[in-house]
Amino acid sequence: MIIAVDAVGGDFYPKNPITGALRAMEENPSVSILFVGPENMIRNELASLEYDTSRVDILHAPEIVTMEDTASVAIKTKPYSSITVGIKAHQQGRCDAFVSAGNTGALLAASTILLGRLNGVLRSTIAATFPTLKGPALLIDAGANLELRPEMYYQFAKMGSIFSEVILQQESPTVGLVNVGEEREKGTDIHKEAYKMLETLDNFAGNIEGKDILCGTTNVFLTDGFTGNIILKFGESIPEMLKLKIAQTMKEQKVDEATQNIVYKLLKESLSGFDYQAIGGVPFLGVNGVSLVGHGNSSPAAITNMIHSAVNCIRHRLNERIVSSLH
């Protein structure tokens, strides 16, 4: 299996993508890596590292999409970026997947435009894993489509369920529609219409509210990309806010250093589920290919895990399952 890796994606390139990819290769003998990016930069980084050279190749892409570029600017003005060149290589069958910790908007646009959508899919989307008391849940849409039509909720419920089962290995995952109340007539007309379509699914658990998210009431949280993005970023901010708040309290109450250390350790342990590095990356669902994106802040370990996720998507034929679920 050849996994193409964006060597200049994320905040810590080329170091993190390259070391993370080499580790994935060590951990899985069936993986070969195709690094995509400026050739010299990649060669320089690789020069000091030890790895199986027979399983590493480089695809030159001189341009770099920054985290600030808008998706349309990235696609139109940087045709030789690692993102465009990498996705094209995947489209042409030169690799089995493309993974990047780079600009999510540009990646989604390139993946959708160049790879196209799977047969029957109305919109491609991005899901995110979300920490809950019961382990990671799946938030879908996590920001790709700000507004949804009812039938998109329905398709996303199916795609999210398959991802949750196959990749997150959750047995018989349930789906909840994020809404302002539990009753079926809650929400906008679009939510009411979506509810009616979702009811026909065996694993639809009804509406869930804001308070159900951290509890992990369902395995899949179904929402439009606007609300999804707000929930996701709000959730990500909880651990840091909490650390600051508790530090403040301990300072005010003149808590001794030994106790402070115990508290910080407990806090770190308790909030470890909020560490997105453990998951690594998520695929764009509905595109005709395997394209994954990770957090800009990805560590080498996050890149390694994103590559393992890509391998799982391929092995478990995620896309074939999505297509057959929609027909």
Nearer to its own copies, 120 or 135 (CB): 135
Structure tokens at 163: 């991802």
Q: Binding of its own copies at residue 264 (CB under 8 A)?
A: no
For 128-165, give one letter per residue: b (16+ CB within 10 A) or e: bbbbbeeebbbbbbbbbbeebebebbbbbbbbbbbbbb
Nearer to its own copies, 267 or 323 (CB): 267
Print the binding letters for residues 11-50 with its own copies: x by CB under 8 A, - otherwise: ----------------------------------------
The single residue among 11, 15, 238, 315 that binds its own copies, judged by CB under 8 A, is 238
Instruction: Give how far the C-alpha of residue 79 lies from the chain's centroid of Cα atoms, to the nearest Å.
Output: 24
Q: Binding of its own copies at residue 187 (CB under 8 A)?
A: yes
Print the binding letters for residues 50-89 with its own copies: x by CB under 8 A, - otherwise: --------------------x-------------------
The single residue among 53, 200, 269, 327 that binds its own copies, judged by CB under 8 A, is 269
Query: If you count them, how many residues does the chain have?
Result: 327
Binding segment toward its own copies, per CB under 8 A, in 121-129, 157-165, 266-274, 278-286:
266-274
Considering only residues 195 to 214 of the shown chain, the ones binding its own copies according to CB under 8 A are 209-214
Q: Binding of its own copies at residue 226 (CB under 8 A)?
A: yes
Q: Give me the helices (H) in 28-92, please.
A: 39-47, 71-77, 82-91
Q: Which of 86, 11, 14, 81 is nearest to 46 (CA)?
A: 14
Cβ(145)–Cβ(152) below 8 Å: yes
Q: Binding of its own copies at residue 245 (CB under 8 A)?
A: yes
Q: Binding of its own copies at residue 317 (CB under 8 A)?
A: no
Cβ(167)–Cβ(313) below 8 Å: yes
Q: How far is the CB of 226 from its own copies (least distance, A)?
A: 6
Q: How far is the CB of 234 from its own copies (least distance, A)?
A: 4
Nearer to its own copies, 104 or 309 (CB): 104
Nearer to its own copies, 232 or 282 (CB): 232
Q: E strands within 7-159? A: 32-37, 56-60, 97-100, 125-130, 137-140
The single residue among 215, 251, 317, 320 that binds its own copies, judged by CB under 8 A, is 215
Spatial strand order of the sheet with 137-140 comes to 56-60, 32-37, 2-6, 97-100, 291-294, 281-285, 125-130, 137-140, 220-222, 175-178, 204-208
Distances (CA, A) of 194 to 157, 186, 189, 222, 224: 10, 11, 8, 10, 11
Binding site residues, its own copies, CB under 8 A: 70, 133, 143, 146-147, 178, 180, 185, 187-188, 209-215, 225-227, 229-238, 241-242, 244-246, 248-250, 253, 255, 259, 262-263, 266-267, 269-271, 273
